[in-house]
Amino acid sequence: MPPKTCTFLSLHAWVFGLTLFAFTSNAYSDWSDHAISWRYGETFRDPFIQNNISKNIYSYTYASGSSSGTNYLNVDWLLSDENDPIRKNSREGAEELYLLYRHTFDLGNLLDRQFQFGPVKGMGVTAGLDLNYKQDAGYNSRKQMLVLGPTLMMKVPGFLNISLLALWESNSPHASRGAFDPGYPDQRYHYDLHPMLNLAWGIPFASSPISFEGYANFITSKGEDETGHATAPETNIDMRLMYNLSDVIKSSTYKVKIGVEYQYWRNKFGNSDAKVGNMEGNVASTPMIRMEVHF
């Protein structure tokens, strides 16, 4: 089957538009932070690929806040080794662009009310989207996802937000030339509406330069996939310990952080043990090294 019309141009328009928004929104923010980062791991896994995959991941991240709420934008450029080839029988690794954007409206400030109780210091509503474009030998993901739901802001040093989000997810995959096609539909496929419990945190260790950061996603089944197979609940936990080198570098312009990261992902993309069989790849346990430059 020839490749279908994809959303590559529209995806790049979204990337450009949201990145432009990140820079221009500084004027309306009480605080903002830009960062570029790199991370590397050698035990990434993808469904139906039996070998470990090494990946270099380059990222741009923007965060800002005002009395009305917070913005978060992250764009990852993921470069795989030859174990995840860009096309069948190629020695070149796959490439992926993944964009995530979230805006959390602070209900307390917007409604001029206090939403504090027990360990909760505030409440909000989070809305956002995920977009990706991947070139590989098998699936060639073209994910589009909208998210919306309530958020609890917890009383901790730094921040801990807990959100229950509704996910409207779709994809339009296609098999590369010469690769096995399991019967992907010709039109964009929409999964069932499904929920995700999301935790996001950044917690410093007292007055030390060390912080504990990360996120955890617990996602229910999203119904059947593009080929009629049942999807499984997903667990995706990504956490890192970062060391702030500001006192060593003594720069008032840049903040450099280095650290170690670990990701555990079970039933990746909703693929169960039963679906992948002996091809495996649906469970990943991936230690990484990481470096960030904030400005």
- Residues 124-167 pLDDT 10s: 999 999 999 999 998 999 999 999 999 999 999 999 999 999 99
Q: Which of 24-33, 179-188, 217-226 has the lowest mean pLDDT?
A: 24-33
Question: In the predicted model, is pLDDT for residue 4 greater than 50?
Answer: no
Mean per-residue pLDDT, 218-235: 96
Residue 267, SS3? Answer: coil
Q: Share the mean pLDDT of the chain.
A: 90
Residues 6+ apart with CB under 8 A from 41: 54, 55, 261, 263, 286, 287, 288, 289
Which contacts (CB < 8 Å, 24+ apart) does range 239-245 have? 239/212, 239/213, 239/214, 239/215, 239/263, 240/212, 240/213, 240/214, 240/288, 240/290, 241/210, 241/211, 241/212, 242/210, 242/211, 242/213, 242/290, 242/292, 243/209, 243/210, 244/209, 244/210, 244/211, 245/209
Residue 177, pLDDT score: 77
Domain 8-294 belongs to what architecture? Beta Barrel (2.40)
Residue 149, pLDDT score: 98
- Residues 29-59 pLDDT 10s: 789 999 999 999 999 999 999 999 999 999 9
Check: CB of residue 80 under 8 Å from CB of residue 115.
no
274 pLDDT tier (thresholds 50, 70, 90): confident
Encoding tokens for residue 161? 């937000």
Question: In the predicted model, is pLDDT for residue 23 greater than 50?
Answer: yes
Residue 294, pLDDT score: 96
Mean per-residue pLDDT, 230-248: 96
Mean per-residue pLDDT, 171-193: 87
| Number of Cβ within a 10 Å radius of residue 176 | 20
